[in-house]
Amino acid sequence: MSLLELDEVHAYYGAIHALKGVSLKVEKGEIVTLIGANGAGKTTTLRSISGLLHCKKGRVLLNGKEISALPAHVVHREGIDLVPEGRGIFPRLTVLENLEMGAYLVRDRNEIRKRIEFAFGLFPRLRERAEQKGGTLSGGEQQMLATARGLMSDPKILLMDEPSMGLAPVLVDQIFDVIKELNARGTTILLVEQNALMALSIAHRGYVLQTGSIVLTDTAANLKQNEMVRKAYLGI
């Protein structure tokens, strides 16, 4: 049984057929990446998994349990956390308050402190900015905060939507190093990323999405060598 499975998922925005029978699997302990052009349906796929958009047809399953019709807050409680495109932090709250918001389901204060310390260990810059308002952080620091907040619920699977968007190359490298470290510690990750070369360099497997349909799936290593992928997404 896969940790996460999409089975022939169809999703719409009004009359727009955004996902056209998307099927994919993520096994426990994997990094799986979803690549494709703008408008291909990558973010829609993550929204369909996280309960922000309900599919009209098909199923989303977590550990074999269907979660397709559950509202987003219940999906979150089931163990899925989304680090959204554009970060989506609380700009008027401090770094520490943002992290505490990520653990709003946790009642044990000692456990919350442990998770905050874990986040600060991953992102020492956040410790330095603990009392600073989220909206005053740099773009890279906000991405660190969004990622750390997503980990505060100790999710079964972390969905990451364009974590490198708008970041300087040195910060992109840092974010991807953290993704690899998180995975090495056991976090399962479904990654949507425009920088396909970086995504495939850390992923175990990948899916290529075009206009709402999966057109190719393989190991990340094989996708990096695939002629269509190299021309369309790697600029080679």
Show pLDDT as tens, one digit a residue, over the chain (236 residues): 899 999 999 999 999 999 999 999 999 999 999 999 999 999 999 999 999 999 999 999 999 999 999 999 999 999 999 999 888 899 999 999 999 999 998 999 999 999 999 999 999 999 999 999 999 999 889 999 999 999 999 999 999 999 988 888 888 898 899 999 999 999 999 999 989 999 999 999 999 999 999 999 999 999 999 999 999 999 87
Q: Which of 123, 149, 175 is the last residue of a domain?
A: 149
Tell me whether strands 188-192 and 31-35 are parallel, antiparallel or unpaired.
parallel
What pLDDT is attached to residue 86? Answer: 82
Gyration radius of the chain's alpha carbons = 17
Please tell me whether residues 13 and 123 are part of one structural domain.
no
What pLDDT is attached to residue 170? Answer: 86
- C-beta separation of 209 from 22 below 8 A: yes
Please tell me whether residues 69 and 103 are part of one structural domain.
no
Please tell me whether residues 212 and 103 are part of one structural domain.
no
Please tell me whether residues 37 and 55 are part of one structural domain.
yes
Q: How many CA within 13 A on the CB side of residue 215? A: 15
For the chain, what is the domain count?
A: 2
Separation of alpha carbons 149 and 144, rounded Å: 9
**Tally of CB atoms within 10 A around 69:** 12
What pLDDT is attached to residue 235? Answer: 82
DSSP 110: H
Please tell me whether residues 172 and 200 are part of one structural domain.
yes
Q: How many CA within 13 A on the CB side of residue 110? A: 0
What pLDDT is attached to residue 218? Answer: 98
DSSP 94: B
Alpha helices in the chain (DSSP H): 42-50, 72-78, 95-102, 109-122, 124-128, 139-151, 169-184, 196-202, 220-225, 227-232
Please tell me whether residues 127 and 143 are part of one structural domain.
yes
- N- to C-terminal Cα separation, the chain: 37
Any domain includes 161:
yes
Tell me whether strands 57-62 and 31-35 are parallel, antiparallel or unpaired.
unpaired
Q: Which of 117, 149, 181 is the last residue of a domain?
A: 149
Please tell me whether residues 75 and 190 are part of one structural domain.
yes
Please tell me whether residues 215 and 100 are part of one structural domain.
no
Q: Which of 149, 165, 191 is the last residue of a domain?
A: 149
Any domain includes 85:
no
Q: Which domain range does residue 103 map to?
A: 93-149
What pLDDT is attached to residue 142? Answer: 93
If we measure between CA atoms, which residue out of 55, 54, 78, 76 comes closest to residue 65?
Answer: 78
DSSP 133: B
Any domain includes 84:
no
Any domain includes 86:
no
Any domain includes 75:
yes
Please tell me whether residues 70 and 98 are part of one structural domain.
no
Please tell me whether residues 54 and 14 are part of one structural domain.
yes
User: Rounded to two decimals, what is the model's pTM?
Assistant: 0.93
Any domain includes 102:
yes
What pLDDT is attached to residue 37? Answer: 93
Residue 164, classed as helix, strand or coil, is coil
Any domain includes 88:
no
Q: Which residue has the tokens 């389901």?
A: 105
CATH code of the domain containing 205: 3.40.50.300
Please tell me whether residues 161 and 75 are part of one structural domain.
yes
Any domain includes 87:
no
